[in-house]
Amino acid sequence: MRRAIVAGNWKMHGSRAENAQLIEELLARFPAQPPAACVVCPPFVYLQEVGRLLRGSHLSLGGQDVCADAQGAFTGEVSAAMLKDVGCEYVIIGHSERRLLYRESDQLVARKFGAAHARGLVPILCVGEQLADRDAGRTHEVVARQLDVVLELCGAGGLEQGVVAYEPVWAIGTGRNATPDQAQEVHAFIRARIGARDARIAAATRILYGGSVKAGNAAELFAMPDVDGGLVGGASLKADEFLSILAAAGPG
Ligand code: PEP
């Protein structure tokens, strides 16, 4: 039985005051027995403080990115050990904004995944096609390529505790989510692709859907058999909305 995960990607939003308010609102109504693991991923500079606010709660902390290298002369970078040191359990890897805006290659993403895994963080590997790829029938090809580079570098064992997030680029921040059937189809493809290397790990891997998840569509997406929760952007900045999404991860 896979435990679902609902993870909030705050992206480059927030301030000390706004973060404190959001965490206060989340914790005030956070379920005593959450139906899924729940993670928030604030910007690097706020990790330590948000971590302090979360202490003793059922909310976990995650980074939005990590350096592929362990330490050294890498100005501006943050290592997996540093994320662990400030209390992170999870880290988002290869978000499409990093792939597209900062030109992160599949190879770099795979190295980052390996670095996170080696340090005991749970890497949340983002994969997903752009609209032109979907329209051209290349969704599987793109997702397989992004996944295979990680599987080649880290082996299926790299996914032992890892998480994959299927995030169709055309659904991120657009208000246009994939339909539950579209999501399920790609999630099943991802699981089968991992399963071709290791059936046990494939069955245990959590595959999250991301792309305009909201309170109003979460339940139908999470009801699909291979959708094990969500990676949530915009809606994770509103306590009510995020808590409703978390509730939707419970037994329907
Ligand atoms: C994301 O940033 O990973 C995301 C899915 O964003 P949104 O929920 O806003 O589409």
Given 97, 104, 167, 241, the catalytic residue = 167
Taking only the tens place, the pLDDT of each residue in 9-46 is: 999 999 999 999 999 999 999 999 999 999 999 999 99
Mutate to test the pocket of ligand 1, among 167, 237, 244 (most ligand atoms within 8 A of CB): 167
**Residue 33 located in a structural domain:** no
167 is catalytic: yes
Q: Is the CB of 9 under 6 A from ligand 1?
A: yes
Q: Is the CB of 63 under 6 A from ligand 1?
A: no
**Residue 208 located in a structural domain:** yes
Domain that holds residue 70: 5-11+40-248
Taking only the tens place, the pLDDT of each residue in 61-70 is: 999 999 999 9
User: What mean pLDDT do residues 159-170 have?
Assistant: 94
220 is catalytic: no
Q: What is the pTM of this model?
A: 0.97
Domains identified in the chain, total number: 1
3-state secondary structure of 52: helix
CATH number for the domain that contains residue 63 = 3.20.20.70
**Residue 25 located in a structural domain:** no
**Residue 28 located in a structural domain:** no
**Residue 31 located in a structural domain:** no
